[in-house]
């Protein structure tokens, strides 16, 4: 999975961030794989899987990458998220 190096990190730090990104993305994919019929918004996924030490933007990035890789998909429905705003619902993409 991708880590966007927008802060010009050095090679060693960049490698650590990329590894962390892979772990976050793997957790999200496994979460949806275990519940293929359930739809979640990004804020609910974030709340279920990560502590406050993980930014919600990291969760959204992982979800966007998984949608791009055709492992997850947007259901076409929306629900109010944890921050009081509507958010798109995501589900596991079945073949």
pLDDT(5) > 60: no
Q: Do residues 63 and 90 make contact, with C-beta atoms less than 8 angstroms apart?
A: yes
CA distance 2 to 11: 15
Token pair 């993409």 is at which residue?
93
pLDDT at 1: 45
Q: What is the pLDDT of residue 38?
A: 95
pLDDT at 48: 94
Q: Which residue, 39, 84, 94, is CA-closest to 63?
A: 39
- Digit-coded pLDDT (tens) for 17-67: 656 656 899 999 999 999 999 999 999 999 999 978 889 999 999 999 999
The model carries a pTM of: 0.76
Q: Would you call 4 helix, strand, or coil by DSSP?
A: coil
**Residue 8 binned pLDDT confidence (cut-offs 50, 70, 90):** low
pLDDT tens by residue, 60-87: 999 999 999 999 999 999 999 988 999 9
- Contact between 90 and 74 (Cβ < 8 Å): yes
């Amino acid at each position: 999975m991708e880590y966007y190096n927008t802060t010009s990190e050095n090679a060693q730090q960049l490698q650590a961030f990329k590894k962390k990104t892979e772990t976050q993305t793997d957790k999200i994919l496994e979460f949806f794989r275990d519940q293929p019929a359930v739809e979640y918004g990004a804020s609910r996924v974030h709340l279920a899987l990560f502590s406050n030490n993980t930014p919600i933007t990291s969760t959204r990035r992982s979800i966007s990458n998984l949608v791009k890789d055709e492992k997850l998909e947007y259901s076409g429905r929306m629900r109010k998220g944890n921050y009081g705003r509507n958010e798109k619902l995501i589900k596991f993409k079945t073949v």
